[in-house]
A = this chain, B = another copy of it.
Amino acid sequence: MEVQIAVAKVNKYATSESGDTLEVVERPNGGLSVVLADGQTSGRGAKAVSQMVVRKVIGLLAEGVRDGAAARAASDALFTDKKGKVICTLNIASIDLHSGTIVLARNNPAPMFICRAETLDRLDSESIPLGASRDVRPLITEIAIEPGVTIVIYTDGLTHAGSRRGTPMNVGEIIHSVIEEENPSPQLLADTLLAQAMRLDENRPVDDISVLVLKVSTRTGDNVRRMSVRLPIEGHIKS
């Protein structure tokens, strides 16, 4: 088998920093975790919050702390620091080779989607962001690592796209139309979702948007791990 992970990420229009932070960390017992946080508001302040949360979670996961405990610790740290005045959403998607499962932790009102064969499940149980109160817990979903599973996670910039103009985004419908094609790559799915959101916002996103897609498939190639990153740079470099 192989797991492919794809991310597409864009800043709110006319802001140089995204309030969304996404990082990947290797798990000490095998596998890896993707951690995505969205700090309240946008720009520098939001970036500092989401970076702090991701740092905290990644540091704990690297020490072997379980995903749910890492999310709770990050929430307590944020609540203590900001006294409940600043919140931050968090999603952790872990490929846990020790348990043979994908562990999905969610502290985010935005739903996520799990596709298997012909079914597309929308997971939208109520979920509270970190830092809102004491003892915030994530919703945990655990599924087997098996070919044919696709998971779609995103920050609320995606769901808000177009809503000010009265043309809200239907995320489930777009996922459905893409996965109907033959074996789409996770990057194609992430790019299609982001492109549609940008279209609805007339290429001026009203919020930071991050889309994360994980896909498990039968092994098609070699046993090489690969990673690629594309970082667009504005013409002017800050000096």
Contact = CB atoms under 8 A, between A and B. Distances in A.
Interface of A: 1-11, 16-17, 21-26, 28-32, 51, 55, 59, 62, 95, 97-100, 145, 186-187, 190-191, 194, 219, 221-235, 237-239
A8 B226 contact: yes
Contacts of A25: 23
A97 B59 contact: no
Contact of A224 (B16, B226, B232, B237): B232
A8 B224 contact: yes
How often does this chain occur in the complex, in copies?
2
B227 A7 contact: yes
Nearest to A30: B238
Given A194-B224, A224-B230, A227-B227, 4 more contacts: A1-B235, A3-B231, A7-B226, A32-B229
A102 to B, nearest CB: 11
B225 A227 contact: no
Contacts of A31: 231
A51 B23 contact: no
Given A26-B21, A222-B232, A227 B6 contact: yes
